[in-house]
Amino acid sequence: MAAGVALLLCGAIALGWLIYILTQDDVYFMGATPGDGASEFFRAAVDASKGLPLPHTFYTLVMVVAPLLVGVLLLAGRPAARGAALALAFASTYFDVRALVPAFDDGFDHYWDSTVGTLSILTPFATIPLQIVVVIALLATQADRRAPAPYGAQPSPSDWNRHR
């Protein structure tokens, strides 16, 4: 349950950033014309002939939808969501650490000049612990789970022959 809630929080944070990006006056992507908005961004994200939605690439959309979807599946108790959640937590951690590297090179100075800069630098510091919670919660519950009996809940074949 903790892993599902943590993934939903990560997805909500990513959704907030996507909404902020798309509500700006001009949504920039390669191949766009001046004045293109959010609808053209989504079209470019799925239609290769339209242009490349850079610097907001397709994985930006995936990193919004995937934590929300996998978090809901974890809360619903779907076993396949466990592996997806672990893979997603590791990939998200990689992207967050990669986003922090330039900030360490610059010394964090220009991030504190505006509210958006402050929030952009604090976002990975909020999401990385949430992703660590996902990994710990899933690995701890994996160790606590009982191993399934052979043949599931069915009796073993040796019990079928009772005429010994």
The reply to whether 88 falls in a domain is yes
Sequence letter at residue 48: A
The reply to whether 11 falls in a domain is yes
Q: Report residue 150 as tokens.
A: 């052979």
The reply to whether 148 falls in a domain is no
Which region holds residue 84: left if phi is over 0, alpha if psi is between -120 and 50, else beta? alpha
The reply to whether 160 falls in a domain is no
For residues 3-19, average pLDDT:
92
What's the predicted TM-score (pTM) here? Answer: 0.71
What is the longest distance spanned by two Cα atoms in the chain?
85
pLDDT in tens, 58-90: 677 788 899 999 999 999 988 889 999 999 999
Q: What pLDDT is stored for residue 140 in this prediction?
A: 86
Q: Which domain holds residue 126?
A: 2-23+61-141
The reply to whether 134 falls in a domain is yes
pLDDT in tens, 144-161: 566 655 555 565 555 555
HEC-encoded secondary structure of the chain: CHHHHHHHHHHHHHHHHHHHHHCCCCCCCECCCCCCCHHHHHHHHHCCCCCECCCCCHHHHHHHHHHHHHHHHHHCCCCHHHHHHHHHHHHHHHHHHHHHHHHHHHCCHHHHHCHHHHHHHHHHHHHHHHHHHHHHHHHHHHHHCCCCCCCCCCCCHHHCCCCC
The reply to whether 34 falls in a domain is no
Q: For residue 131, report the phi and psi dihedrals to the nearest 5 degrees.
A: -70, -35
The reply to whether 108 falls in a domain is yes
The reply to whether 159 falls in a domain is no
* Count of structural domains within the chain: 1
Q: What pLDDT is stored for residue 21 in this prediction?
A: 75
- pLDDT over 60 (residue 126): yes
